[in-house]
Amino acid sequence: MPADAQPQDAPPKQGQPDQRVHVLNTNEVQQRSHGAQRFRRLLTALSFALFVILPVGLVTFYYLGIADDRYTVESKFAIRSPGSSAPTDLLGIVSSVSNATSTMSDSYMIVEYIESRDLVDRLEESLDLRAIFSQKTTDPLMQLDRESTKEDIVEYMSRVISIYFDTSSQILTLEVQAFTPEDAQLVSAAILEICDDLVNSISERSRQDTMRSAVEEVARIELLLTEHREKIATFRQSQQEIDPSASAGQQIKLLGELEGQIASARARLGSLTGVLNDDSPSIKNLKRQISAMEQELQSQRDRMGTGEKDRGSLLGGTRTLTSRIGVYEDLIVDLDFLQRAYFTALASREAARIEADRMQRYLAAFVQPTLPEKSLHPKRAQNILIFAAFATMLWAIGVMLVYLVREHRA
C-alpha cells in the first residue's frame, strides 16, 4: 500500500477539515432511482387525474345530467330575381352577371341582418324571447337571463341561430335551436317572415328609385303640354279662328276670284268703250262695279298682310292673317315637339318599369320550417369524446414539456 494512500473512511489529521465523502453503493443508487421514478409516476398520475379525468368527468356530468335537449329547425331559402333567366345575347349575359352580383350582395345582407340587433328588435315585437329561452330550461350554460339586456340577447341568439350562405348555389341555410319543437319552429318562421319583409321593402325602394326620374319626367312634360294646349285654345278664342292656315287658303281663293271678276269687268268695259260714250249708264255702272271690286280686293289684301312688321301680341291683337299664321305655326311646332317629348317620356317610363320589374327581388323559401320530432343538440357523446381527446392531448403536451425541461437542466 503506498505511503500517501489512506482509506476513505479514515479520520482526518489534526488541524485539517473533515473531507470524508460517502460513496453510494449499487443498492442505494437503485433505491433512490426507484423512489424518484415512483414520485414522478405519482405526479404524472395525479396530473392526469387533475387535468383529464376530473374535467372529463365534469363535462360528462354536465352533458348527461344537466344539459337539456335542444330541437333544431332547418330552413333553406334564396334571394331570386324575375330577370334571372338564361341569357341569349351579349347584353343579356352582362345583365345576368349584374343580377347575380346583386342577388349575392342581397344574400350577404340577409346574413348580416340575421346576426344584427335589429332582428332581435323585430322578433321581440311578436315573440317573448326571454320566456322562450329561459323558462323552459335549467341548463345554466344555455339559459337566458330574464333580466338580460338587448346586447346579451343578441349574443345569446348568435349561439342558437346559425346562418350559412353557399356562394356557389347562392342558397342560405338557417338553423334555429330551442328547448321545445314548437318554439324552434315559431322562431324560425318569424325570422323567415322578417327577412321576406326586408327583401320586399328593399326591392320596392329600389323599384321606386328606378321609376322616380322617369315618372317625374312624364309629369313635367304633361304639365308643359297642358299649358301649351291652353295657349292654343286661348289663341283660337281670341282670334275666333280654328286654323289660320285653312282661313289663308280660303282668303287666297277669294282674292283669285276677285281678281278674275275685275279682269272680266275691265274687259267688258273695254269692249263697251268703243261703242258707247263715257256718259252711258252701262259704262258708269260697270265702272262703279270695277271700283267696288278693287276696293274689296285691297281690303282682302290688307287682311292678308300690310307689308309692315306686325306688332301684335303672341296670343291676341294680331291684325293680319299672315301674322296669325306665323303665331299659330309656332304654337303648332311647339305642340308637336312636346307631343314627341311626351311619347319619348312615356317610352322611357315603360322601359324603367320593365327594368324595375327585372331588378325586383324576392325571398324564395323552398325548405319551410317544420316541427322537429327528435332533438339534435347537444351532441353528448361527440362533445364528450372531443373534449376528452383535447384534454388528453393538452395533458400529454404539458407532461412532455416538463420532462424536456427537466432533462435539459440535468
pLDDT at 76: 94
Query: Which of 222, 218, 226 is closest to 353 using CA atoms?
Result: 218
CB 188 within 8 A of CB 379: no
- C-alpha cell belonging to residue 274: 268703243
Return the CA Rg of the chain: 53
Work out the burial of residue 167: count CB atoms within 10 Å of its CB; fewer than 13 is exposed, 13-18 middle, 19 or more buried. exposed
Highest-scoring range by mean pLDDT, 14-23, 33-42, 165-174, 276-285: 165-174
| Count of beta carbons in the 10 Å neighbourhood of residue 39 | 10
Q: Show the cell assigned to 13.
A: 489529521
Q: How large a percentage of the chain has pLDDT more than 70?
A: 68
Q: Average pLDDT of 363-384? A: 88
Instruction: Report d(CA 17, CA 44) in Å as an integer.
Output: 43
**Is 105 in contact with 199 (CB distance < 8 Å)?**
no
* Amino acid (1-letter code) at residue 5: A
* Strands laid side by side in the 71-80 sheet: 161-166, 171-178, 71-80, 362-367
**E-assigned strands of 126-170?**
161-166
Check whether 245 has a pLDDT greater than 90.
no
Stated length of the chain: 410
CB-facing half-sphere around the CA of 49: CA atoms within 13 A: 6
Q: How far is CA 280 from the centre of its chain?
A: 101
Sort residue 313 into left (φ over 0), alpha (ψ -120 to 50) or beta: beta
Q: What is the pLDDT of residues 164-184, one digit of tens each?
A: 999 888 899 999 999 889 999
For the chain, the 3-state helix, strand and coil shares in percent, each to the nearest 5, are 65, 10, 25
Angle, CA of 213, 108 and 157, to the nearest 5°: 125
User: Structure pTM?
Assistant: 0.61
**Identity of the residue numbered 288:** R
Q: How confident is the model at residue 136 (pLDDT cuts 50, 70, 90)?
A: low
Q: Which residue has the higher pLDDT, 200 or 234?
A: 200
At residue 276, the pLDDT reads: 64
Q: Average pLDDT, stretch 330-345?
A: 85
CA angle 23, 24, 28 (to 5 degrees): 165
Among 71, 272, 100, residue whose Cα is nearest residue 186: 71
Angle between the 321-358 and 281-304 helix axes, to the nearest 10 degrees?
30
Distance (Å, rounded) from C-alpha 191 to C-alpha 172?
Answer: 13
- Report the mean per-residue pLDDT for the chain: 77
pLDDT in tens, 142-166: 888 888 888 989 999 999 999 999 9
* Tens-digit pLDDT profile for residues 213-235: 888 888 898 898 888 888 877 77
pLDDT band at 195 (very low <50, low <70, confident <90, very high): very high
